[in-house]
């Protein structure tokens, strides 16, 4: 499962809307910076940890779902076997009655398991989405705080390089300061030793 926060999909405003007259280009560019959130999310140690948390959680739910599917399949096979047995003309009335009772019980059990599967899927989906939103919010707050330190009293605007450029997106930033590395420096300064070793690989 891939974890990509929603804000990475937002496009920046069109560059043309930011530039007034050509004579003021140098002055305006000195007040504008850009940041590559895609790089931030790849290299910020907490973002990597969040990604792993989401992948592990999704894998655990998938494992449980697979086990539930296997249990339901076993039950369906048993129901099919009982239905086949009931077609045997040599089956005595007593045995037939016994098989019918078993079939009814298995059918009811199957309905319960199907309802449980639906409830499990809905609960798992909600938990995953809630955790994704919480982690995204935490990462966004961290990044914004670090960016504020860099931008304070220096930049009037900081634009995000879109992950996938679209209409109105910032696709050209020549002359603007790139603050991604500076922001990463603040974000990763307290990274655990294990995370720093991974970065050097």
pLDDT tens-digit map of 169-184: 555 666 788 899 999 9
How many other C-beta atoms can be found within 10 angstroms of the C-beta atom of residue 102? 16
User: How many angstroms separate the CA atoms of 181 and 184, rounded?
Assistant: 5
Any domain includes 52 = yes
Any domain includes 35 = yes
Using DSSP, state whether 158 is helix, strand or coil. Answer: strand
Angle, to 10 degrees, between the axis of helix 93-151 and the axis of helix 180-187?
Answer: 110
Range of the domain at 158: 6-200
* Residue 163: predicted pLDDT: 65
Any domain includes 39 = yes
Number of domains within the chain: 1
* Residue 164: predicted pLDDT: 62
**Full-prediction pTM beyond 0.85?**
no
Using DSSP, state whether 160 is helix, strand or coil. Answer: strand
Distance of CA 120 to the CA centre of its chain: 19
pLDDT tens-digit map of 8-50: 333 333 333 333 334 444 445 568 888 988 899 999 999 999 9
Please determine, for residue 6, whether its predicted confidence score (pLDDT) is greater than 50. Answer: no
Q: Is 168 exposed, middle or buried (0-12, 13-18, 19+ CB in 10 A)?
A: middle
Any domain includes 1 = no
């Amino acid at each position: 499962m891939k974890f990509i926060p929603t804000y990475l999909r937002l496009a920046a405003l069109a560059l043309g809307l930011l530039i007034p007259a050509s004579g003021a280009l140098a002055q305006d560019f000195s007040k504008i910076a850009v940041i590559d959130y895609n790089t931030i999310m790849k290299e910020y140690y907490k973002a990597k940890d969040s990604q792993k948390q989401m992948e592990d959680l999704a894998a655990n739910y998938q494992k449980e779902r697979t086990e539930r599917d296997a249990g339901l399949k076993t039950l369906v096979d048993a129901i099919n076997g009982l239905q086949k047995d009931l077609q045997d003309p040599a089956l005595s009335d007593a045995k037939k009655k016994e098989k019918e009772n078993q079939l009814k019980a298995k059918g009811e059990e199957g309905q319960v398991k199907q309802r449980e599967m639906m409830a499990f899927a809905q609960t798992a989906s909600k938990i995953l989405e809630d955790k994704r939103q919480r982690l995204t919010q935490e990462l966004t707050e961290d990044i914004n705080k670090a960016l504020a330190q860099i931008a304070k009293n220096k930049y009037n605007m900081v634009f995000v390089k879109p992950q996938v450029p679209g209409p109105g997106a910032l696709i050209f930033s020549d002359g603007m300061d790139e603050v991604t590395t500076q922001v990463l420096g603040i974000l990763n300064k307290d990274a655990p030793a294990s995370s720093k070793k991974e970065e050097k690989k």
